[in-house]
Amino acid sequence: MYAVLIPTGWAYADTARYRSSVEKVPETPVALVLGAGIGGDQPSPLLARRLDLAVDLYRRGKVKVVLVSGDNRVKGYDEPTVMRAYLMRKGVPERKIVRDFAGLETWDSCARAKRIFGVTRLTVVTQSFHLPRAVALCRAAGIQAWGVGDDSMGSPYTDSTISGYMREPLAMMKAMGNLALQPDPALLGRKEPGVSEALASP
Task: Kindly list the structural domains of the chain, giving each domain's residue range(s) and its CATH number in brackets, ordered by start.
Answer: 2-188 (3.40.50.620)
Q: Are 146 and 126 in contact (CB under 8 A)?
A: no
Q: Between β-strands 97-100 and 144-150, what pairing exists: parallel, antiparallel or unpaired? A: unpaired
Ordered alpha helix ranges (H), 61-155? 79-89, 106-115, 131-140
Closest Cα to residue 29, out of 68, 72, 64, 75?
A: 64
198, containing H or E segment: helix 194-200
| pLDDT, tens digit (0-9, with 9 covering 90-100), for 113-165 | 999 999 999 999 999 989 999 999 999 999 999 999 998 765 566 666 667 56
pLDDT of 168 > 80? The answer is no
- pLDDT confidence tier of residue 74, bands split at 50, 70 and 90: confident
| pLDDT, tens digit (0-9, with 9 covering 90-100), for 90-100 | 999 999 999 99
End-to-end alpha carbon distance in the chain: 52
121, containing H or E segment: strand 121-127
Closest Cα to residue 36, out of 129, 123, 136?
A: 129
Could you give the CA distance from residue 9 to residue 144 in angstroms, rounded to a whole number?
Answer: 21
Closest Cα to residue 51, out of 80, 83, 24?
A: 83
Closest Cα to residue 136, out of 151, 125, 147, 121?
A: 147
Mean pLDDT of the chain: 89
The residues, any chain, with a CB within 8 Å of residue 83's CB and separated by 6 or more, are: 33, 35, 43, 47, 51, 68, 70, 99
Can you name the residues that pair with 136 across neighbouring β-strands? none
